[in-house]
Amino acid sequence: MSELKNDRFLRALMREPVDVTPVWMMRQAGRYLPEYRASRAKAGSFMDLCMNPEMACEVTLQPLDRYPSLDAAILFSDILTIPDAMGLGLYFETGEGPRFKKTVTTAADVDALPVVDTLKDLSYVTDAVTTIRKALNGRVPLIGFSGSPWTLATYMVEGGSSKDFRKAKALAYNNPSLMHALLDKLVLSVTNYLNEQIKAGAQAVQIFDSWGGALAHDAYVEFSLNPMKKIVDGLIREHEGRKVPVILFTKGGGQWLEPMAEAGADALGLDWTTPIANAKQRVGHQVALQGNMDPAMLYAKPDRIRQEVANILKGFGSGSGHVFNLGHGITPEVSPEHAKAFIESVHELSEPYHKGD
């Protein structure tokens, strides 16, 4: 593997000194980019794109080529590859979001689910990781990722997206041991999946807990945080002679940062509702923080975007331990010029905060 030329992102996650605050964007390889839309049109469906390592590599690199200030690449894939590999039959309906042909509702359904063997069932993902690492040639680190067990379970039980998670919550509340049996299989699958991504070349991993924030506090700890903790405990934490940082991101989890900081991850992702100064004060001595500009701020004029970046940098204040990001994925309607203003202003405005690093 070639030497890493820019390790700001990894250093900040380990709370080591950096020259400027590193930046990347969730969903940075996405529909807001015309070059992405062209690749997507060429590939066919969204899943065709995910399952073709060369194409996945192509779109992963697009934002890095357009925005040289980006400090990390993230594997282009979907959080629902695992339930798909378990045999549920993922498909996408236009304007409807992801759907599954089969759902999980009974003990027999859970028993029938295999634990994912990544190298056999999801080799297109590890192939993509290998291909991207080669293409990156040490430019920036590559982030691997997975959905959290609870997040994956909601899709598997509901059969797709949901507004109120009625079926998943009813199962969790009425039959917690069955929900735990499902979560346990997902913990094993996700652990294997992330470890194989690391072995293939992912230099950091992020667990996306998109729907943990829909739970009440106690239920969050039981059904979302504890399974993520088991995953973190089972991850390879050092590879190629370097730490492999783990980022845990629960959207809507701002009230629960203290228990999240105890989960063993190196960093917590923040959505935009949490003042980062407050988060740093609460858990900054334990973990790095990633975030957290409102993605809707990218609809504002570039000057306003820069001002918001300045506000968040000031909120975090001096020292390392901050990876700048949006508080959620960038949306398709954003102008690439606005994304540029965001990315560039992070390096431009953050230098004074690292004088003492």
Catalytic residue ranges: 27, 31, 40, 78, 155
Among 299, 310, 319, 336, binds its own copies (CB under 8 A): 299
CB of 169 to its own copies, least distance (A): 4
Give the separation between CA 66 and CA 297, rounded to whole angstroms.
20
Residue 76 or 272: the one with the smaller Cβ distance to its own copies is 272
Q: Which is nearer to its own copies, 174 or 356 (CB)?
A: 174
333 binds its own copies (CB under 8 A): yes
Q: Which of residues 60-89 bind its own copies (CB under 8 A)?
A: none
Residues 148-167: x where in contact with its own copies by CB under 8 A, - otherwise, as a string: ----------------xxx-
Q: Give the one residue of 101, 173, 318, 335 binding its own copies; rule: CB under 8 A.
A: 173
Inter-axis angle of helices 149-158 and 176-200, nearest 10: 120
Among 301, 318, 351, 352, binds its own copies (CB under 8 A): 301
**Of the ranges 41-49, 68-76, 251-259, 318-326, which one interacts with its own copies (CB under 8 A)?**
251-259
Residues, the chain:
357
Cβ proximity to its own copies: between 75 and 293 the closer is 293
List the one residue from 108, 120, 174, 241 that touches its own copies (CB under 8 A).
174
For residues 190 and 146, is the Cβ–Cβ distance under 8 A? Answer: yes
Residue placing its CB nearer to its own copies in the complex, 286 or 331: 331
Residue of 137, 8, 128, 1 whose CA lies nearest to 72: 8
Segment near its own copies (CB under 8 A), from 69-77, 192-200, 224-232, 266-274?
266-274
Q: What are phi and psi of 250, to 5 degrees?
A: -100, 110
Q: How far is the CB of 199 from its own copies (least distance, A)?
A: 37
Q: Please state the three-class secondary structure of the chain as a single string.
A: CCCCCCCHHHHHHCCCCCCCCCECCCCCCCCCCHHHHHHHHHHCCHHHHHHCHHHHHHHHHHHHHHCCCCCCEECCCCCCHHHHHHHHCEEEECCCEEEECCCCCCHHHHHHCCCCCHHHHCHHHHHHHHHHHHHHCCCCCEEEEEECHHHHHHHHHHCECCCCCHHHHHHHHHCHHHHHHHHHHHHHHHHHHHHHHHHHCCCEEEEEECCHHHCCHHHHHHHHHHHHHHHHHHCCCEECCEECCEEEEECCCHHHHHHHHCCCCCEEECCCCCCHHHHHHHHCCCCEEEEEECHHHHHCCHHHHHHHHHHHHHHHCCCCCEEEEECCCCCCCCCHHHHHHHHHHHHHHHHHHHCCC
Under rule CB under 8 A, residue 316 binds its own copies:
no
16 binds its own copies (CB under 8 A): no
Q: Decide if residue 170 touches its own copies (CB under 8 A).
A: yes
Q: Name the minimum Å distance from CB 54 to its own copies.
A: 32
Binds its own copies by CB under 8 A, chosen from 198, 244, 247, 297: 297
Rounded Cα gap, residues 293 and 274, in angstroms: 10
Q: Check: CB of residue 209 under 8 Å from CB of residue 250.
A: yes
Shortest approach of its own copies to residue 161 CB, angstroms?
A: 11
- Is there binding between residue 178 and its own copies (CB under 8 A)? no
Interface with its own copies, residue 107, by CB under 8 A: no
Stretch that binds its own copies, among 6-14, 79-87, 179-187, 327-335 (CB under 8 A): 327-335
Judged by CB, which is closer to its own copies: 34, or 97?
97
94 sits near its own copies (criterion: CB under 8 A): no
Closest to its own copies by CB, 9 vs 324, is 324
- List of residues contacting its own copies (CB under 8 A): 164-166, 169-170, 173-174, 213, 215-220, 252, 254-255, 272-275, 278, 293-297, 299-301, 304, 308, 311, 327, 331, 333
